[in-house]
Amino acid sequence: MAPRDLEPRHPAEPGEPGPRGPRDWDEVPAELAFADDGSAPDGPSRWERRSRVIRFTVIVALVAMLAPIVLSTVSVAQSSAARSCAVIVSAYDRDAAGSHVALELFGPGGAGWICYADASGEPRPIANLGLLPGAPPRVLGPDEVPA
């Protein structure tokens, strides 16, 4: 193979047509530069529009996949917190008329489900159950002795 074969095969003069079109690859032929009426295009190119549509579709698909998971997790955590709160309130506050839970991001003890005892018309915070509450701790009765 001679060194000549490694040289570029298009002409040395810029702008002269070669085997694959103009030598200057940045130069766009005039007939491809603008629309048929000769004016510059006003809006984004079709490739920009297509990429925006694809990006929007991907975001909608991700939200559609993640929303049921998040809603299901919050629902299970709320029902678990409500049951745990009822057990804790019945053990620690015998005068309470009921209990309820609320998800608080800046509550006492940090973010989590806060258990409130409803006694005498005013709710009192009893415990922070955490973001994903589990079974309540075992509560010793008045006649039980810790082991």
Domain ranges of the chain: 78-128
pLDDT values of the chain reduced to their tens digit, one per residue, 147 residues = 555 555 555 555 555 555 555 555 566 666 666 655 556 666 667 788 899 999 999 999 999 999 999 999 999 999 999 999 998 888 887 788 889 999 999 888 889 999 999 887 788 888 889 898 888 766 655 555 555
| pLDDT at 95 (0 to 100) | 80
Sign (positive or negative) of CA dihedral 20, 21, 24, 29: negative
* CB atoms inside a 10 Å sphere around CB 77: 20
Helix (H) or strand (E) holding 55: helix 46-92
Predicted model pTM? 0.58
| pLDDT at 79 (0 to 100) | 94
| pLDDT at 120 (0 to 100) | 79
Position 123: which residue type?
A: P
DSSP string for residues in 74-140: HHHHHHHHHHHHHHHHHHH-TT-SEEEEEEESSSTTSSEEEEEEEETTEEEEEEE--SS--SPPPPP
